[in-house]
Amino acid sequence: MIRSSMIPFPPVIIAEGYAALVAQTYISSHPASGLILIDPPVTNKDIPKSIISETLPEFTYEPKFPIAVIAEEDKLTQFQSKGHRLADSPYVDFLHRDKASGAFRHIDDWLDRLGI
């Protein structure tokens, strides 16, 4: 769909939950202006066998473009406590949301800060 849209610039990819796996796979081989992951799995080892029967290797793309991870506090803490590779990148913003608030406000604010 991205290729057929014929946009002249790299897109901002937004994915929620397990769709973050597809988005990160795409990012591994294609340019993007940004990546927004909403409640992504912390590691690929965290994915239940009922979703994907084989263990996926961890992603190795270089996070040298704007990335936002939007999740509840406990999940954000897991990213940082497990030494996740995204936690050390200056390009990644971890945005806290509570159960009552949606991600759209965070997405809008974050894109505005980037000027996108």
What gap in Å lies between CA 32 and CA 9, rounded to an integer?
Answer: 8
Q: What is the pLDDT of residue 82?
A: 64
For residue 56, the 8-state DSSP code is P
For the segment 15-68, what is each residue's pLDDT rounded down to a tens digit? 999 999 999 999 999 989 999 999 999 888 888 888 888 888 888 888 889 999
The tokens 């506090």 sit on which residue? 73
Confidence of residue 92 (pLDDT cuts 50, 70, 90): very high
Provide the b/e sequence for 38-62 (b: ≥16 CB within 10 Å).
Answer: bbbbbeeeebeeeeeeeeeeebebe
Q: Considering its fold, how many domains does the chain have in total?
A: 1
On the question of pLDDT at 104 being above 90, the answer is no
The HSE-up count of residue 111 (CA atoms within 13 Å, CB side) is: 15
Confidence of residue 1 (pLDDT cuts 50, 70, 90): low
* Mean pLDDT of the 77-92 span: 84
Q: Sheet of 12-16: strands edge to edge? A: 12-16, 34-38, 67-71, 92-96
Mean of all residue pLDDT scores within the chain = 87
For 71, list phi and psi in degrees, rounded to 5.
-160, 175
Give residue 73's domain range: 3-114
Q: What is the pLDDT of residue 4?
A: 67
